[in-house]
Structure 1
Amino acid sequence: MSLLCWNCRGLGNPRTVRVLHHLVKEKKPNVVFLIETLCRGNTMEKIICKLGFEGLFVVNPIGRSGGLALLWKENLFLEIFNYSRQHINAIIRNEDGSPGWKFTGFYGFPNAARRWESWELLRLLKTFQPSAWLCAEDFNEILDQSEKQGAALRRISQINQFRRALEDCDLSDLGFSGPRYTWCNNKRDDNFPQERLDRAVANTEWCSRFNYVRVQVLEAICSDHNPILILFNDVPYETGPSRRAFKFEAKWQLDPECNDISKAAWEQEVLESNQLKDIRARLSACQRDLTRWSKAKFRRDAELLKQKSRRLLELQGTNSPNQIEDIKQIQKDIDTFLKRSKMLMLKPHLDALTFVHVY
């Protein structure tokens, strides 16, 4: 199972929506938690129609700030338990009937003067069942000075308040792989502030239930926050090859070769005893030939995108202001690629959606 969490800084920007689609397609999360969506429920409905999620819970922004959203797959037994402007609390139950566990998508108050309210909210959320608890995303605070670079040091009292709140809730940091800092102001100056604000924490009971847990800090293609991907299971991850079901991609229609490939495959000589078997054989030929053609046609583009994404992650991990211009250029290149490749042309499934609006 996997959860994607991201302070996206506004889904009203088409570029951010493209990146979200790309992340969902590449990482295939079961749950997505978004912060600072700056979008109301009706806008979020339109966005998730193309993402393949059936569940949506929205906490609307106030004016031009805030906004939370939780998205989940249809086969997931997820129930919203409570929420506020700073969190969404959900219970995730297992198909086998074993006890469920609690997931909290959390957004710490950006205003340092109100940060104490975030920690009181955490303590309150601890009291709700089930007791196995995973909490993740933007806490707007660091655990020690090593999680901050540039600008003034954080006050020790602020750090200690965060630490005490996690201790009181029996929450421990799950660690990470990838860039050390998850937030950057993206400005080339002497201070060049960077901080690790986005993280995943869990209590002892949750950690004992899921022995294999990984938290990956992903590349920041847009927004000043890196997304984080949480992967976990009670068995080791399978790394072997898997066979994917055939899916006709809408972007293929933009290439004239697609029609030629389909026509040639359909008109191949087929020796079958009845019409139904004849049609099945022709469809199988189209599937086979289109799959081979698409792999040859788009593999280079896909590999180029992966190379740029890896390079972006590498540069963001250097923590150097001298790399800002290179980072921005690669971010622009990736967005141009996503726009050109028409990755977002997916058929909406409105009938299968479950929408919940919170006003």
Structure 2
Amino acid sequence: MKTLSWNVRGCNALDKIRLIKRCLDQVRPDVLLLQETKIKEEDFSLFSRKFHSWNCSLVGAQGAFGGLAVLWKGSVVDVTVVRATRWWQWLKIKSMQLQTSFFLFNIYGLINSNLKKQVWSELFEILSNDKENVFILGGDFNALIRPLDKKGGMGWNRQSQRDFHSFVTSAGLIEIPFKRGEFTWTNRRSGFLNIAEKLDRFFIAGDWLECHWTSKAEILPFTGSNHYPISLRLQDDSAPERCPFKFEAMWLRDGNIKSLIDQWWLSLFSKNFNS
């Protein structure tokens, strides 16, 4: 199962819609999390029609700020919105591929430090009251954890960053590292004026050790926003691998090939049937 998360900084322009569709065609996620859509409630139906092959649920923007959206392919995942606020969507995901259910949060960390601290408090309460289920948190947290998460600009050790670090530690969140890339946001300036930060992430919490999942997170090289999209692939590591069938033409030279295939095939069937 693949999840794509992106702070798109507005979905109102036609060129941005085309960019998102191109990203979907190339990455082919099962679930898409969008932050800072800037879509108001009265424009929900218009946005949905532009992605008519996807199911979607949205949280309206406040003026020209914020806005959240989750889009999913109903043929491969079932998504239920448990609860939503201006800053996060709490989703229950049922994956046909993983053959299990888990909770997924689409998060947008606002700039205001007090509101951000309120978001961490809300999420901590939810996570601390449920240790049995698996939770995955993804999105634009708009916060840093360590000095290496920032390049250029002023220092990182502000109170809002300490609050975020405390939340991550107290909630027992485990960050899923990116296979390549370091920073997910840039101010788009060059030289010594360039600032880059790691603001977008995936975390996992809860009883995830029982899932036997392998995970792969990546930063994707799509432009069109000052944030890069990030993807997360989850795969059931306990599922048996399928071995492709191979046939060599030279086998036809053996006159006993038909009887040998019959023996191999009946033996394989018997082994699988009795296991």
Which TM-score tier does this pair reach, normalised by the shorter chain?
0.7 to 0.9
> Who is 2:106 aligned against?
105
1:246-261 equivalences under 5 Å are none
Alpha carbons 1:102, 1:132 under 8 Å: kept: yes
Aligned to 1:65: 65
Aligned position for 2:25:
25
Of 233, 236, 245 in structure 1, the residue corresponding to residue 235 of structure 2 is: 233
Residue of structure 2 in register with 1:4 after alignment: 4
Match among 175, 180, 184 for residue 186 of structure 2: 184
Deviations 1:13-33 (A, max 9, x none): 222211111111111111001
- Aligned amino acid, residue 18 of structure 1: R
> Higher strand proportion, which one?
2
The change in CA–CA distance for 1:212 and 1:193 in structure 2 (over 3 A counts) is same
TM-score by length of 2: 0.79
Q: Is the 8 A contact 1:178 1:218 kept in 2?
A: no
CA distance in structure 1 between the aligned counterparts of 2:50 and 2:219, rounded to whole angstroms: 24
Kept after mapping to 1: 8 A contact 2:133/2:206: no
Retained in 2: the 8 A contact 1:91–1:102? Answer: yes
1:239 deviation in Å?
A: 11
Deviations 1:8-60 (A, max 9, x none): 001112222111111111111110010111123123212212xx31x210111
Normalised TM-score (structure 1): 0.61
Change (3 A) 1:210 1:25: farther
Amino acid at match of 2:72: W
Contact 2:176 2:203 in 1 (8 A): yes
Q: CA deviation at 1:97?
A: 11
CA RMSD, 1 decimal: 2.5
When residues 27 and 207 of structure 1 are mapped into structure 2, their CA distance, relative to the original with a 3 A threshold, is farther
Matches of 1:111 and 1:74, distance apart in 2:
35
**Aligned amino acid, residue 125 of structure 1:** I
Q: Which amino acid aligns with 1:185?
A: N
Contact 1:212 1:236 in 2 (8 A): no
Matching residue's letter, 2:48? E
Counting aligned pairs with the same residue, the percent is: 22
| Distance in 1 of aligned mates of 2:242 and 2:148 | 33
Q: Is residue 91–residue 130 contact of structure 1 (8 Å, CA) maintained in 2?
A: no
Measured in 1, the distance between the counterparts of 2:204 and 2:95 equals 18
CA deviation after TM superposition for structure 1 residue 187, in Å = 2.1
Choose between structure 1 and 2 for higher RCO, CA contacts under 8 A separated by at least 6 residues: 1
1:193 match: 195
Which is richer in helix? Answer: 1
- Paired letter, 1:102: F
What residue in structure 1 maps to residue 254 of structure 2? none
Change in CA separation of 1:99 and 1:236 when aligned onto 2, cut-off 3 Å: closer
1:168 deviates by 2.0
Q: Quick one: structure 1 residues 43 and 156, their matched pair in 2 at CA, closer, same or farther if it must change by over 3 Å?
A: same
Contact 2:214/2:236 (8 A) holds in 1: yes
Structure 1 runs, 4 residues or longer, greater than 4 Å off: 94-99, 236-241
Distance 1:239 1:174, change over 3 A: farther
Any gaps of 5 or more consecutive residues in structure 1? Answer: 242-359
Given candidates 41, 46, 52, the residue that maps to 1:43 is 46
Do the aligned partners of residues 95 and 149 (structure 1) sit closer, same or farther apart at CA in structure 2, a change above 3 Å counting?
closer
> Deviation per CA, 1:241-273, whole angstroms, max 9, x where unpaired?
9xxxxxxxxxxxxxxxxxxxxxxxxxxxxxxxx
Distance 1:239 1:187, change over 3 A: farther
Match of 2:87 in 1: 86
Cα distance in 2, alignment partners of residues 239 and 98 from structure 1: 17
Aligned residues: 238
Offset of residue 79 of structure 1: 0.9
